[in-house]
């Protein structure tokens, strides 16, 4: 089965928004075992939309569109599709009821134009929108499937997962199931070199690497008739990867991300953490508190951007700040100790360094970062050089610094308690 994803919206062609829907739909179709060979974007223009829709239906079994289902004059996806397929538009009572319910739920006045959203092509099936007003539309005609979905990511994602995915599953029989092995601070090319044989020879399950900002994810995907069978195929491959890469370099399997892995580990061991962030400015505590339930493990975070605060609140000694500066291993260590002490947490973690663009010197260049870890019986710091020499890398340096801090805290929680 082949599918094309056709996203409709002038805001995409102007670059006002990034096309996250195409990525989401592609990922979900891959999971269903449906091939996507093309993604296309067209604007809110009836002629060009009709041409693209026609070509997509000619070349594919399934076409999925996003966008252009709203109530305004430039929302014309379903009218264009109906015209192309020779279908009349008809009023759908059930969709109208859902729209009315939605407005009651969010306690808002319904505008008149909204009624346009309850019209669907004759013979089509309306798909309920749990997070908005425009219903999705499912059409099977001449052996082809056309699915029209709304544009906002918060509407399309639950609609696809809850209602569309089950409809499409009947075409593939098999489901795709994946598990993900997470590496941090382990070069992508090193992982690829070590696992090259596996990646090129294995067909089911497959092994694919995906690198992003310091992390390498290895995704092992099997096609099987159910999840249990898929897992039986995947698990030996994970064991093989562990034996090749070394399990000390793997921080988790299916753990989502570093902050989720850290929160899980802290909960498991009944530990509390506290952060003191200079260069990362709150990003570590922000990432930890992304995880629901993190209040059980995060005692306190401080963003001690000035030396005065480092000294007065965290207790970093004036001597250290004067002799070694705020950007030093010694300061990082005293920051981690300090925040652990004032908060009463089990683990203190700190960051200090130079994010740029200004503030770097030959001796202390942009990208120099110290991460500190402190527990009652064990403290250390790690010096990092995170600049890649690009012009706008402030946020990348801060993000990588926060990832290293989360990773080192995770290692510490795992090994020292």
Q: Report in angstroms how near the CB of residue 307 gets to a copy of itself at its nearest.
A: 10
Q: Minimum Å distance from CB 123 to a copy of itself?
A: 30
Taking the complex as a whole, how short is the minimal distance between the CB of residue 157 and a copy of itself, in angstroms? 8
Nearer to a copy of itself, 4 or 120 (CB): 4
- Minimum distance, C-beta of residue 285 to a copy of itself, in the bound complex (Å): 3
CB of 393 to a copy of itself, least distance (A): 8
Distance CA(55)–CA(370), nearest Å, equals 55
CA dihedral 71, 73, 76, 79 (to 10 degrees): 90
Nearer to a copy of itself, 233 or 300 (CB): 300
Considering the complex, what minimum distance in angstroms separates the CB of residue 268 from a copy of itself? 19
> 173 vs 293, which CB is nearer to a copy of itself?
293
Residues of 168-192 as b/e, b for ≥16 C-beta within 10 angstroms?
beeeeebbbbbbbbbbbebeeeebe
Among residues 370, 353, 364, the alpha carbon closest in space to that of 405 is found at 370
> Would you tell me how many other CB atoms lie within 10 Å of the CB of residue 78?
25
- Judged by beta carbon, residue 179 or residue 398, the one nearer a copy of itself is 398
- Bridge partners of residue 35, in order along the sequence: 2
The C-alpha atoms of residue 17 and residue 392 are separated, in whole angstroms, by 20
Whether 238 and 198 have beta carbons less than 8 Å apart is answered as no
Taking the least distance from each CB to a copy of itself, the nearer of 22 and 223 is 22
Burial 266-278 (b: 16+ CB within 10 A, else e): beeeebbbbbbbb
Between 261 and 298, name the residue whose CB sits nearer to a copy of itself. Answer: 298
Q: How far is CA 73 from CA 114, 368, 402, in A?
A: 11, 54, 46
Decide whether 11 or 225 has the Cβ nearer to a copy of itself: 11
> Smallest gap, in angstroms, from Cβ of residue 417 to a copy of itself?
20
């Amino acid at each position: 089965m082949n599918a094309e994803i056709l996203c409709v919206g002038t805001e995409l062609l102007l670059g006002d928004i990034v096309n996250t829907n195409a990525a989401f739909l592609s990922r979900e179709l891959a999971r269903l075992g449906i091939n996507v060979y093309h993604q296309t974007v067209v604007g809110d223009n009836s002629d060009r939309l009709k041409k693209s829709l026609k070509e997509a239906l000619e070349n594919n079994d399934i076409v999925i569109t996003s966008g252009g289902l709203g109530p305004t004059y430039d929302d014309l996806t379903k009218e264009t599709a109906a015209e192309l397929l020779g279908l009349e538009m008809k009023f759908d009572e059930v969709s109208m009821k859902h729209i009315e319910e939605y407005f009651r739920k969010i306690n808002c006045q319904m505008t008149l134009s909204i009624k346009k959203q309850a019209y669907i092509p004759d013979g089509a099936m309306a798909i309920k929108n749990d997070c908005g007003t425009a219903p999705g539309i499912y059409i099977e005609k001449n052996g082809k499937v056309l699915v029209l979905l709304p544009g906002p990511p918060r509407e399309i994602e639950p609609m696809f997962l809850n209602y569309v995915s089950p409809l499409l599953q009947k075409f593939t029989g098999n489901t795709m199931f994946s598990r993900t092995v997470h590496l941090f601070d382990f070069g992508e090319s090193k992982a690829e070199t070590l696992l090259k044989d596996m990646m090129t020879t294995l067909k089911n399950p497959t092994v694919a690497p995906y690198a992003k900002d310091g992390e390498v994810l290895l995704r092992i995907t099997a096609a099987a008739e159910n999840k249990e069978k898929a897992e039986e195929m995947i698990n030996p491959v994970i064991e093989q990867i562990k034996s090749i890469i070394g399990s000390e370099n793997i921080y988790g399997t299916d753990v989502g991300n570093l902050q989720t892995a850290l929160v899980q580990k802290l909960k498991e061991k009944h530990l509390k953490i506290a952060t003191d962030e200079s260069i990362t400015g709150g990003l570590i505590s922000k990432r930890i508190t992304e995880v629901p339930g993190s209040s059980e493990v995060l005692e306190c975070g401080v963003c001690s951007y000035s030396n005065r605060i480092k000294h007065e609140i965290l207790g970093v000694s004036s001597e250290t700040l004067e002799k070694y500066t705020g950007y030093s291993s010694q300061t990082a260590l005293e920051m981690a100790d300090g925040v652990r002490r004032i908060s009463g947490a089990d683990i203190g973690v700190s960051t200090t360094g130079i994010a740029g663009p200004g503030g770097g010197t030959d001796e202390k260049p942009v990208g120099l970062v110290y991460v500190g870890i402190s527990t009652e019986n064990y403290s250390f710091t790690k010096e990092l050089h995170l600049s890649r020499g690009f012009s706008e890398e402030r946020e990348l340096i801060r993000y990588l610094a926060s990832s290293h801090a989360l990773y080192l805290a995770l290692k510490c929680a795992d090994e020292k308690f």
